[in-house]
Amino acid sequence: MMGADNPGTGDVQARRFGEVAVRTVAVSEMENNVYLLTGTATGQRVLIDAADEPEAIAALVAASADDIADPAGTADPVGTPEADDVADARGAGRGDGLHAVITTHRHWDHHRALAAVLRQLGGEAGVMNIAGVDDADAIEEETGTTVDVRAEHGDVLEFDGFELSVIALRGHTPGSIALLLRQDGEPPVLFTGDSLFPGGPGKTWSAEDFTSLMDDLQERVFGVLPDETLVFPGHGAPTTLGAERPHLGEWRARGW
């Protein structure tokens, strides 16, 4: 893994987990984290939360061309079919290489750039629009887009070079989802939207919603993933499950 702490607004942070590069930029007055995952061997790119500032997201996609590996002996990629594949993938980084956008939940600050990104950053095949099944209708209504894949708990989203497992975390919104990335030899990486942060769960608006979120976090996240799991939230700095696990009882007791 490479990288440091959470960037400030507009600063790009880059990490690599096995054959997946992860770039992060915080956008807007809400400092939403936008995550771009790139398969380093394939060039396929998946964006998590097109929160705002489509121009910053376009720059993030363009910069990810540097994350695509050259095949051996093709540092200057010309003259072979394999090298041409690399050149094509890198060219896609100039703005038409985004394969999918996944929205972690329905709240406005996580999808303000969704329509623009879907319109501007897709290749000939367009960009796949993915959201949790129970938030999809609201996202469609608020963004004027069509959700192509309504993801449910336990689904596995398969991309070229990597996959993301869907974990439904009900409470912050009915259809909030987290996305789990696994790579051999690397800690699990969990993108949690607004459902889990350093210091506690995401905001809820009733005792029932809080209990639902805590139950899902304990059963579906803390109960099955190891302490070294990295947590990348929708706002702010990353954490690990090991850092948060000792405080689960405290969160339950305080009710938030």
Q: Can you give the pLDDT of all 256 residues of the chain as single tens digits?
A: 333 344 445 678 999 999 999 999 999 999 999 999 999 999 999 999 999 999 999 999 999 999 998 644 344 443 444 444 444 444 443 334 799 999 999 999 999 999 999 999 987 778 999 999 999 999 999 999 999 999 999 999 999 999 999 999 999 999 999 999 999 999 999 999 999 999 999 999 999 999 999 999 999 999 999 999 999 999 999 999 999 999 999 999 999 9
Q: Is residue 7 part of a domain?
A: no
Q: Cβ(213)–Cβ(170) under 8 Å?
A: yes
Q: What are phi and psi of 31, to 5 degrees?
A: 50, 50
Q: Is residue 212 part of a domain?
A: yes
Structure token digits, residue 60: 């993030």
Q: Is the full-model pTM beyond 0.85?
A: yes
Q: Is 49 left (phi over 0), alpha (psi -120 to 50) or beta?
A: left
Structural domain boundaries enclosing 16 = 12-254
Q: Is residue 78 part of a domain?
A: yes
Q: Is residue 20 part of a domain?
A: yes
Q: Report the Cα–Cα distance between both ends of the chain, in Å, rounded.
A: 32
Question: Cα–Cα distances in Å, from 28 out to 41, 102, 109, 231?
Answer: 32, 18, 9, 21
| Radius of gyration of the chain, Cα coordinates, nearest whole angstrom | 18
pLDDT at 70: 64
**Domain tally, the chain:** 1
How many other C-beta atoms are found inside a 10 Å radius of the C-beta of residue 223? 9
pLDDT at 122: 83
* CATH classification of the domain holding 207: 3.60.15.10
Q: Is residue 5 part of a domain?
A: no
Tell me whether residue 144 is exposed, middle or buried, using C-beta atoms within 10 angstroms of its C-beta: 0 to 12, 13 to 18, 19 or more: exposed
Structure token digits, residue 145: 């887009």
Q: Is residue 49 part of a domain?
A: yes
Q: Is residue 83 part of a domain?
A: yes
Residue in this structure with the two tokens 């061309």, named with its chain if needed: 65
Q: Cβ(180)–Cβ(232) under 8 Å?
A: no
Residue 196 CA from chain centroid, whole number: 14
